[in-house]
């Protein structure tokens, strides 16, 4: 009994597993990774809070307790949890509908959104419902992220230009930007453009240059990751020295100094109802991306993650964000890769990163007063443009036109109508296309390959057939959406075939027969029997056979059920 309890405890508290063997080597590697990720995360946290329409400090708050919570409950050794661009954009879209940006109600709504997201993720994890995220196909996610990256980058141009602009989609943003283009603040532009160019160069060119100069790889990596910090320092000093605030350059201003405050979500039924849909959307998108990153990184070290426990880990992280003044968080792709490359051994690296962010919140926030918002906008633009990938259109066009349609629709609707409608349309289209494809399954008439016991499609291979026997192989589960299609196919095929005596339904690819399909099989059997044709089944899988055995179908079947297709043809042609 004690052993069962211990295993149950380890299942829900993975820290008990990896913490048991934690040693000095792991500690050193985790500390080094934490330093690198902390350097990267400070400007990112501030920038993503700006993107979400929240005070800059909320980005820092969302990067402290959530990392600690994930270190306790998460299973990935390298996933770095915190604010990310897409979730920040979704937060702004959702919260902007219920509160005015910049108001106390806006911040409260963001905190409540994190709490709802945390509850939903934890619920999914406890009841092992992670499979629901499968309704978001990877092509749809890729298309959504690409479109979101374009919208995010475009939305930050107002900070680079120093003009007022707004909009929920690309068309509205571009229209607003062009309308205010003549109001461009050239001092802001003089900060934003060089900062953006510098960050693009740092991302690709600094590390190779340092390595060429003889800098050790680990040091070169740290310096390259510190590029955004360098941009923050230089532009903040410039804003202070040259009085750019008085010249119209927007700055961050006062950032409260100290640890995150204790906060609570707003327990209001109307607010919860308004935010629930967005919380579900943010949760599923965040989970899909987090798990994809976590699985990829785990595979490189032959480790494994537990998706349902990841739901609990992310849920705990979001609840932690909601009680510490933060907003919705998830695992970040770039941040996690940096954490992995920096040598993180365990989730403790995230906890150490949280300590680093907490120290920054206590000691460095007064230094951020003169930080130009254009610098944070440049950080966001450089980060999100790396997520834009139009190659998914070419890939899906070449491989699956249905997937291409889903991706293209997701991109176009997201760009034209906004992020929430875009991803919702992508999901709906994916489900519709799946139902359409499976409602018209591939059905092959098969024959015996000479000299073997294998049966193949008569249109693809030279096979032997018997005029008295028709073998049909259905390459899909039989369910309500395709049951009638199978009926129509068989009736069209057998009508007028005077020599036909037996029809064999080869079920090697059928894993499920639902009630609607069972009724169709009964109708097919009765109709064929009236035509003097016997219906048989072959290669029926065990679980399917078990369910059929609980009905009257097998007892009333005009023919037999054969273990193999070869045995069926051999006996019926004898």
Tokens 């410039």 belong to which residue?
Answer: 238
Residue 338: the pLDDT is 79
Task: Return d(Cα 83, Cα 44) in angstroms, integer.
Answer: 8
Task: Return d(Cα 110, Cα 356) in angstroms, integer.
Answer: 24
Tokens 């089944």 belong to which residue?
Answer: 537
Task: Give the model confidence (pLDDT) of 307-360 as tens digits.
Answer: 889 999 999 999 999 999 999 999 988 788 878 877 888 999 999 999 999 999
Residue 6: the pLDDT is 58
Q: Taking Cα atoms as reference points, which of 388, 413, 329 lies closest to residue 64?
A: 329
331 and 305 Cβ atoms separated by less than 8 Å: no
> Which structure tokens are listed for 141?
């996610």
Neighbouring C-beta atoms of residue 280, cutoff 10 Å = 16
The CATH class of the 443-572 domain is: alpha beta
In the predicted model, residues of the chain with pLDDT beneath 50 are none
**For 116, phi and psi rounded to 5 degrees?**
-60, -40
3-state secondary structure of 506: strand
> Residue 546 burial (CB < 10 Å; 0-12/13-18/19+)?
exposed
3-state secondary structure of 457: strand
Give bridge partners of residue 443 from the DSSP assignment: 474
Residue 406: the pLDDT is 85
Tokens 């359409």 belong to which residue?
Answer: 436
Residue 502: the pLDDT is 95
78 CB-side CA count, 13 A: 26
Is this model's pTM higher than 0.95 or not? no
All structural domains of the chain with their residue ranges: 30-430, 443-572
């Amino acid at each position: 009994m004690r052993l069962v309890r211990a295993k149950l405890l380890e299942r829900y508290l993975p820290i008990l597993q990896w913490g048991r063997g934690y040693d000095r080597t792991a500690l050193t590697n985790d500390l080094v990774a934490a330093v690198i990720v902390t350097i990267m995360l400070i400007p990112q946290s501030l920038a993503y809070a700006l993107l979400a329409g929240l005070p800059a400090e909320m980005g820092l708050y969302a990067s402290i307790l959530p990392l600690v919570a994930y270190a306790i409950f998460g299973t990935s050794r390298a996933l770095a949890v915190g604010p990310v661009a897409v979730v920040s954009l979704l937060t702004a879209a959702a919260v902007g509908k219920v509160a005015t940006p910049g108001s106390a109600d806006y911040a409260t709504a963001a905190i409540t959104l994190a709490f709802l997201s945390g509850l939903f993720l934890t619920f999914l994890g406890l009841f092992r419902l992670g499979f629901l995220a499968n309704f978001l196909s990877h092509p749809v996610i890729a298309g959504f992220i690409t479109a979101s990256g374009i919208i995010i980058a475009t939305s930050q141009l107002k900070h680079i230009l120093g003009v007022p602009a707004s909009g929920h989609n690309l068309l509205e943003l571009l229209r607003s930007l062009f309308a205010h283009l003549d109001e461009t603040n050239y001092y802001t532009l003089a900060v934003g453009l060089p900062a953006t160019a510098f960050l693009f160069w740092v991302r690709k060119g600094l590390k190779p240059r340092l390595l060429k100069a003889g800098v050790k790889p680990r040091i070169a990596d740290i310096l390259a990751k510190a590029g955004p910090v360098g941009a923050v320092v230089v532009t903040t000093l410039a804003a202070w020295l040259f009085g750019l605030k008085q010249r119209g350059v927007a700055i961050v201003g006062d950032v409260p100094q100290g640890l995150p405050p204790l906060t609570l979500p707003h327990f209001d039924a109307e607010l919860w109802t308004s935010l629930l849909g967005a919380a579900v959307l943010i949760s599923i998108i965040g989970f899909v991306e987090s798990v994809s990153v976590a699985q990829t990184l785990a595979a490189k070290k032959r480790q494994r993650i537990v998706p349902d426990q990841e739901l609990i880990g992310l849920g705990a992280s979001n609840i932690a964000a909601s009680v510490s003044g933060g907003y919705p968080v998830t695992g970040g792709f770039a941040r996690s890769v940096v954490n992995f490359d920096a040598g993180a051994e365990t989730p403790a690296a995230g906890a150490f990163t949280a300590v680093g962010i907490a120290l920054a919140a206590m000691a460095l926030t007064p230094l951020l007063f003169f930080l130009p918002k254009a610098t944070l906008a440049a950080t966001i633009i450089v980060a999100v443009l790396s997520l834009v990938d139009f190659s998914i259109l070419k890939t899906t066009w070449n491989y699956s036109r249905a997937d291409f349609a889903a991706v293209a629709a997701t991109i176009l609707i997201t760009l034209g109508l906004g992020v929430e409608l875009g991803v919702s349309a992508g999901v709906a289209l994916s489900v519709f296309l799946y139902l359409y494809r499976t409602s018209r399954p591939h059905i092959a008439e098969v024959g015996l390959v000479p000299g073997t016991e294998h049966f193949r499609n008569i249109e693809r291979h030279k096979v032997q057939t018997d005029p008295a026997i028709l073998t049909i192989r259905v390459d899909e589960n039989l369910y309500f959406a395709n049951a009638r299609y199978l009926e129509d196919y068989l009736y069209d095929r057998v009508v007028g075939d005077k020599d036909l005596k037996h029809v064999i339904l080869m079920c090697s690819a059928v894993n499920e027969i639902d009630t609607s399909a069972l009724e169709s099989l009964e109708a097919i059997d009765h109709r064929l029997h009236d035509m003097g044709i016997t219906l048989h089944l072959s290669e029926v899988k065990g679980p399917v056979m078990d369910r059929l055995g609980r009905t009257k179908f097998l007892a009333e079947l005009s023919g037999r059920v054969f273990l193999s297709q070869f045995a069926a043809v051999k006996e019926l042609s004898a």
